[in-house]
């Protein structure tokens, strides 16, 4: 049999393969289910991003047609002191709040992984703040909590401590926002809790036979096994922290003295208070680049501490 005949025979077998025929019948259904997502991705995400990129090169005030202005918005950004202030404040918030939230969620998940009576109720109560944490109502409540002579000050005065003016002091206002972020650790906690339950018990038994202490088992077994989950929570938490807005807008609105002028809040002010939509679009492009660089850095460093082999 020459090569052409062999190829024809192979083609015939492929055509008659029931697996391939079933796959071909399922493909239209798969494309049908994917169509809403693809349309949303094209028109709501990719289309919006391309339009934002176009606006970043224009002068646009929402009331008149956009006029092409080249790279003027970007050059003005780099000479804007408030832009650099918002960059500094946002990075401080990300660097402090993301690790604090990860540590809090991991420690609480470790405690809740123990089998004690009523553990389901404890888990639900601790997860509850995450359901309302990012809402306007929760932000108003948090603001009242740290108001001057509010509940926090009242508790401190019971111990003879005069608390600072939390929201009126530039050095403590951002701490209030970080605490609010840490308070919303429930989602990460649930993911950590699921990861803890997937760790095989024989690993702990082997470590115990080898004489490892509880701390050593946690550091040498638990953390390496959880490293992919830590990576996921770190990545998602970092991205979310760069985009924080509602809490800042409700609680401090950037004050006092721009000490909480977060990047997205400043972007909102430029776009919807001063109607500098082209300028705001340029800021959003810069934010996209910053988040992409930080995400890329996390991915690059993950090969040194994330263990996918376990």
pLDDT (tens digit, 0 to 9) for every residue of the chain, 310 residues total?
455 555 555 555 545 566 666 667 677 888 888 898 888 888 888 999 999 999 999 999 888 899 999 999 999 999 999 999 999 999 999 999 999 999 999 999 999 888 777 778 877 877 777 777 667 888 888 889 898 888 998 898 888 888 888 998 899 999 999 999 998 888 899 999 999 998 999 999 999 999 999 999 999 999 999 999 999 999 999 999 999 999 999 999 998 999 999 999 999 999 999 999 999 999 999 999 999 999 999 999 999 999 876 5
Task: Look at residues 191, 196, 192, 189 and name the one whose alpha carbon lies nearest to residue 129.
Answer: 189
Q: How far is CA 118 from the centre of its chain?
A: 31
Q: What is the pLDDT of residue 92?
A: 96
Structure tokens at 160: 């003879």
Q: What is the pLDDT of residue 13?
A: 54
Distance (Å, rounded) from C-alpha 265 to C-alpha 251?
12
Distance (Å, rounded) from C-alpha 168 to C-alpha 153?
14
Q: Rounded to whole angstroms, what are the CA distances from 109 to 53, 184, 203, 274, 299?
A: 42, 13, 19, 45, 25
DSSP line for the chain: --HHHHHHHHHHHHHH-HHHHHHHHHHHHHHHHHHHHHHHIIIIIIHHHHHHHHHTTEE--SSS--EE-TTHHHHHHHT-HHHHHHHHHHHHHHHHHHHHHHHHHHHHHHHHTS--TTHHHHHHHHHHHHHHTTSHHHHHHHHHHTSTTSHHHHHHHHTT-----TTTSHHHHHHHHHHHHHHTTHHHHHHHHHHHHTS-HHHHHHHHHTT--HHHHIIIIIHHHHHHHHHHHHHHHHHHHHT--HHHHHHTTT-STTTT--HHHHHHIIIIIS--HHHHHHHHHHHHHHHHHHHHHHHHHHHHH-----
Q: What is the pLDDT of residue 62?
A: 84
Distance (Å, rounded) from C-alpha 249 to C-alpha 185?
20
Other Cβ atoms less than 10 A from the Cβ of 185: the count is 27
**What residues have CB less than 8 Å from 309, skipping those under 6 apart?**
none
Q: What is the pLDDT of residue 37?
A: 87
> What is the sign, positive or negative, of the torsion defined by CA atoms of 149, 151, 156, 158?
positive
Q: Rounded to whole angstroms, what are the CA distances from 2 to 63, 151, 166?
A: 74, 89, 86
Q: Are 123 and 187 in contact (CB under 8 A)?
A: no
Q: Are 280 and 72 in contact (CB under 8 A)?
A: no
Q: What is the pLDDT of residue 263?
A: 96
Q: What is the pLDDT of residue 16?
A: 53
Backbone angles phi, psi at 59, to 5 degrees: -100, 120
DSSP line for 179-219: HHHHHTTHHHHHHHHHHHHTS-HHHHHHHHHTT--HHHHII
Establish how many alpha carbons lie within 13 A of residue 21's alpha carbon, considering only the half-sphere containing its beta carbon: 7
Other Cβ atoms less than 10 A from the Cβ of 262: the count is 27
């Amino acid at each position: 049999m020459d090569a052409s005949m062999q190829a024809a025979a192979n083609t015939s077998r492929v055509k008659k393969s029931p697996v391939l025929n079933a796959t071909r019948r399922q493909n239209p259904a798969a494309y049908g289910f994917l169509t809403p997502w693809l349309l949303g991705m094209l028109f709501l995400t990719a289309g919006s991003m391309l339009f934002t990129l176009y606006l970043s090169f224009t002068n646009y005030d929402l009331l008149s047609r956009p006029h092409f202005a080249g790279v003027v918005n970007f050059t003005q950004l780099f000479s804007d002191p408030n832009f650099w202030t918002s960059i500094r404040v946002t990075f401080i918030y990300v660097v402090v709040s993301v690790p604090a939230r990860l540590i809090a969620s991991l420690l609480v998940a470790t405690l809740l992984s123990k089998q004690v009576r009523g553990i389901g109720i404890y888990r639900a109560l601790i997860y509850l703040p995450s359901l309302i944490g990012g809402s306007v109502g929760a932000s108003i409540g948090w603001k009242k909590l740290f108001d001057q002579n509010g509940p926090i000050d009242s508790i401190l005065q019971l111990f003879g401590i005069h608390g600072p003016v939390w929201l009126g002091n530039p050095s403590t206002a951002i701490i209030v926002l970080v605490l609010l972020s840490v308070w919303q650790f429930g989602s990460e906690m649930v993911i950590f809790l699921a990861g803890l339950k997937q760790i095989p018990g024989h690993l702990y038994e082997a470590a115990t036979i080898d004489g490892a202490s509880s701390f050593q088992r946690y550091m040498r077994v638990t953390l390496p096994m959880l490293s992919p989950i830590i990576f996921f929570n770190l990545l998602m938490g970092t991205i979310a922290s760069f985009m924080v807005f509602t809490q800042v807008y409700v609680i401090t609105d950037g004050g006092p003295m721009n000490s909480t002028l977060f990047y997205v809040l400043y972007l909102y002010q430029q776009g919807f208070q001063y109607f500098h939509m082209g300028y705001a679009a340029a800021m959003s492009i810069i934010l996209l680049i910053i988040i992409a660089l930080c995400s890329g850095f996390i991915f690059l460093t993950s090969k040194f501490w994330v263990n996918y082999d376990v």
